[in-house]
């Protein structure tokens, strides 16, 4: 469900017209209409106000997919302290294996940006792959799907941190989307 769909649904549940919501938010009715039709994005202050008004989290409003639980656990690491051995192909792999030695499955993932329609057209017309290259330059960390104790986690390893998010909806497909990212399981698994 998109931000616009969530806003429209929440507004209707609150029994407010677009004009009434606009008045409460001190914005124009056309701004509310743009947000609901996904043609514009409210600024952070308006997002905070709407979240408070509708009694929902900002994360709920912004997250297209309700796959992540948002119970995030972030631990500092020193990547150079880990050694590549056994099934590990990188120090990132070693970090995840050390963190989840008793996991049922650990799938390394390939991450790519989920392109908007406009980005897809621009990417196709001008420079195929340019948005993916830019995304990789911005975030070249490693991602994993970890199955442990009948739960699934999306794990991200950077040079300084290992971040774990519990996944609310079970993922069984080889390819899946979380937020603005597409993930694909690699051809090998660590466990």
Kindly indicate the confidence band of residue 86, based on its pLDDT and cuts at 50, 70 and 90: confident
pTM tops 0.85, yes or no: no
Go through the domains of the chain in sequence order and give each one's CATH number.
Answer: 3-62 (1.10.260.40), 68-185 (no CATH)
The pLDDT tens digits of the residues spanning 30-66 come to: 999 999 988 888 888 888 888 888 877 777 777 765 4
Q: Is the pLDDT of residue 95 over 60?
A: yes
Work out the average pLDDT over 113-129. Answer: 76
Kindly indicate the confidence band of residue 81, based on its pLDDT and cuts at 50, 70 and 90: very high
DSSP assignment of the chain equals: --HHHHHHHHHHHTT--HHHHHHHHTS-HHHHHHHHTTS----HHHHHHHHHHHT--HHHHH-SS--EEEEEEEEE--GGG----TT-SSHHHHHHHHH-TT-SEEEEEEEEE---HHHHHHHHHT-TTHHHHHHHHH---EEEEEEETTEEEEEEE-SSEEEEEEESS---SSEEEETTEEEEE-S----
Q: Is the pLDDT of residue 146 over 70?
A: yes
Kindly indicate the confidence band of residue 128, based on its pLDDT and cuts at 50, 70 and 90: confident
How is the beta sheet containing 175-178 ordered, strand by strand?
68-76, 161-167, 151-157, 142-148, 105-113, 181-185, 175-178
What is d(CA 56, CA 14) in angstroms, rounded to the nearest whole number? 12
């Amino acid at each position: 469900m998109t931000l616009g769909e969530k806003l429209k649904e929440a507004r209707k549940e609150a029994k407010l017209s677009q004009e009434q919501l606009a008045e409460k938010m001190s914005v124009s009715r056309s701004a509310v209409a743009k947000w609901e039709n996904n043609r514009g994005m409210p600024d952070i202050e308006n997002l905070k106000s709407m979240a408070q008004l509708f009694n929902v989290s900002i994360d709920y409003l912004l997250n297209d997919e309700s796959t992540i639980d948002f119970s995030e656990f972030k631990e500092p690491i020193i990547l150079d302290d880990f050694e590549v051995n056994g099934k590990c192909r990188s120090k990132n792999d070693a970090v995840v294996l050390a963190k989840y030695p008793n996991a049922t499955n650990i799938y390394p993932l390939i991450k790519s940006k989920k392109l908007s329609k406009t980005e897809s057209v621009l990417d196709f017309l001008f420079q195929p792959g340019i948005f993916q290259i830019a995304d990789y330059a911005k975030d070249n960390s490693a991602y994993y799907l970890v199955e442990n104790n009948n739960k699934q986690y999306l794990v991200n390893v950077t040079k300084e941190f290992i971040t774990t998010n519990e996944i609310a909806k079970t993922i069984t497909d080889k390819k899946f989307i979380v937020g603005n990212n597409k993930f694909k399981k690699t051809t090998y698994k660590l466990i």
